Structure 1
């Protein structure tokens, strides 16, 4: 096996999905790859950079997705739902994405993706939607993990979370629409 950024990210995602973000350490990634921790630093300056690369991998279908004409045509609700689904598909996915937003380029790219999906591009609206999605998924993932830890299976239906999420998106979009007509 050749050590490169992709194999390191693969190992990080494997650890993330099995144990969570707290256990996705450089030392643990190195151990999984059977290399010395220092070998990882040839590819990533630090754990924060690895978290950013991991978030980009998780979000790749959204960040890279375009229609047949090269332009992504999905609306804001669909964009937010896709973002939710991508984060939900990985344990602590929302924490990884949230932590990666310290990278100004990734944050701007995500906000632009959300802004482009709005009927009228709106930076504040994109910021609000992005942070609503991350917060909603963080709350959902935390609740699932708590229920898993305590053995309480009550209200773990994904449909309940999906419905609340969808309603929240509608509320934010209605608010943005109302603000647009007031201005």
Structure 2
């Protein structure tokens, strides 16, 4: 008879297990029943900690943020004149973290964080921008614009890319080009939009930051 004791079931253990299982089954396959099976408990036991799947997704997104929060804060700790590079690195870091989880951006988008883990990274980002010459309102708009671009880009690349579990699937550019034979510019655009995703993200983010600077930054002396 074994005397080994299992770790107590709590919100952290459930969220950690759910994140690991997410990489195997994706968001559609992530059910409370599947998580309970992975934890070797009955599904009703999870309802003591999460009232429904959305509540669990909120905790999963919060745990993802906890794991990246310190890195974000560190990247914002630079002289004001380096704000473009720091801002670029912060959003690139967000993308890198989301890509570590299958459907990570879908889990992260639209959730409500369950604690204050988001506060210091956001404060550091806004402080970086205000010190670089943005008003508080413009800094908020700048941050949310770049953040939304990053989340949206990762949702698209994870949705269009190959299945992480099998390496199969993904967008068939040849078939797309054949369907768009009568629209050559649209056909050609697919190679730019759906290949070299790292370069595509970087190019888009640089464009977003340039637009933010041109339209939202208020202090000419800081340029």
TM-score range, shorter chain: 0.7 to 0.9
The 5-angstrom pairing of residues 48-127 of structure 1 reads 48-65=54-71, 66-67=73-74, 72-73=76-77, 75-100=86-111, 102-103=112-113, 109=119, 112=123, 114-118=125-129, 119=132, 120=134, 122-127=139-144
Structure 2 match to 1:142: 159
Partner of 2:188: none
CA distance in 2, matches of 1:175, 1:85: 23
* CA deviations over 1:83-119 (Å, ceiling 9, x no partner): 000001110001001142x459779746545434433
Deviation digits for residues 66-93 of structure 1 (CA, Å, limit 9, x no counterpart): 44xxx84261100001000000111000
TM-score w.r.t. the length of structure 1 is 0.80
1:25 counterpart = 2:31: yes
> Residues 112, 160 of structure 1: CA spacing in aligned structure 2 closer, same or farther, 3 A cutoff?
farther
* CA separation of 1:177 and 1:104: change in aligned 2, threshold 3 A: farther
Q: Higher mean Cα deviation, 91-100 or 142-151?
A: 142-151
Query: Which secondary structure state, in structure 2, belongs to the residue aligned with residue 3 of structure 1?
Result: coil
RMSD of aligned Cα (Å): 3.1
Q: 1:151 to 1:98 in 2, by over 3 A?
A: closer
Unaligned runs of at least 5 residues, structure 2: 1-5, 79-85, 175-190
- Within the candidate set 149, 156, 165, 2:201 is matched to 165
Query: Would the alpha carbon gap of residues 106 and 87 (structure 1) be closer, same or farther in structure 2, given more than 3 Å must change?
Result: farther
Segments of 5+ residues of structure 1 without an aligned counterpart are none
Deviates more, 1:165-174 or 1:116-125: 116-125
Question: Which is higher, the Rg of structure 1 or of structure 2?
Answer: 2
CA gap 1:150/1:72 in 2 versus in 1, 3 angstroms: closer
Runs of 4+ in 1 over 3 A off after TM superposition: 64-67, 102-121, 150-155
Q: Which residue of 2 aligns with 1:47?
A: 53
Normalised to the residue count of structure 2, the TM-score between the two structures is 0.67
